[in-house]
Amino acid sequence: MVNITDRAAVEVLPEDVLAAHKVVDGLINCAGIIQKFVKFNELPFSEVDRVLNVNFNGTVNMTKAFLPLLLARPEGHIINFSSMGGYLPVPGQTVYGASKAAVKLFTEGLYAELMGSNVHVTIVFPGAIATNIAANSGVSIQMPESAQSSKIKTTSPQEAARVVVDGIEKNSFRVFIGSDAKMMDFLYRLNPKQAVKLITDQMKSLLK
């Protein structure tokens, strides 16, 4: 296990992977954490740095380390996980969203640079996935009774993995996981201001 924010440790990771598996044909950057569910003004810099380091810098570190190995293979693939929050601002997750927006543009830049090469690039936009990301991020969210009583539809990790593998096989440019991610992408492209108002109204109760 390697801390992806530790650049020195990540730089030597390819050697260890090659020693164990001989070749590397793909890289999936799916590690990510959310921030404390508070407005940016209330978020300490320690939390800002933590989220940016894991979500963006970690993705950059891993890609930089493994890209030379992928370029040396007959065919390779890089899959980077952004988020629905990477194209749609979510109040209370402003820094998280910024980190995932950075992953989005970084990945699209890689796609452009690697066009015509043997390395394919795919960006993934998950919606709500049943991975308990809040607890895994060390974040406690106090859900109001009204929100607790309503069931939020989530995609299972198994289904999410299936969708990602299908995207790899098709060399997809973009992959959306969950009907929520697809719907909000459509709404945001159709009317960005209205989409922001909609998500803000939905998040108000968590920011009180």
- Name the residues annotated as catalytic: 96
Q: Which tokens in the block code for residue 52? A: 């940016």
Contact by Cβ (8 Å): 25, 73: yes
Q: Which of 100, 114, 108 is nearest to 51 (CA)?
A: 100
Alpha-carbon distance 173 to 133, whole Å? 25
If one counts every other C-beta atom within 10 angstroms of the C-beta of residue 105, the result is: 12
CA distance 197 to 191: 10
Establish how many alpha carbons lie within 13 A of residue 11's alpha carbon, considering only the half-sphere containing its beta carbon.
3
How far is the C-alpha of 164 from the C-alpha of 122, rounded, in Å? Answer: 9
**CB of 154 closer than 8 Å to CB of 145:** no
State how far the Cα of 63 lies from the Cα of 60, in Å rounded to an integer: 5
Q: How many CB atoms lie within 10 A of CB 34?
A: 24
Query: For residue 169, what is the enclosing H or E element?
Result: helix 157-169
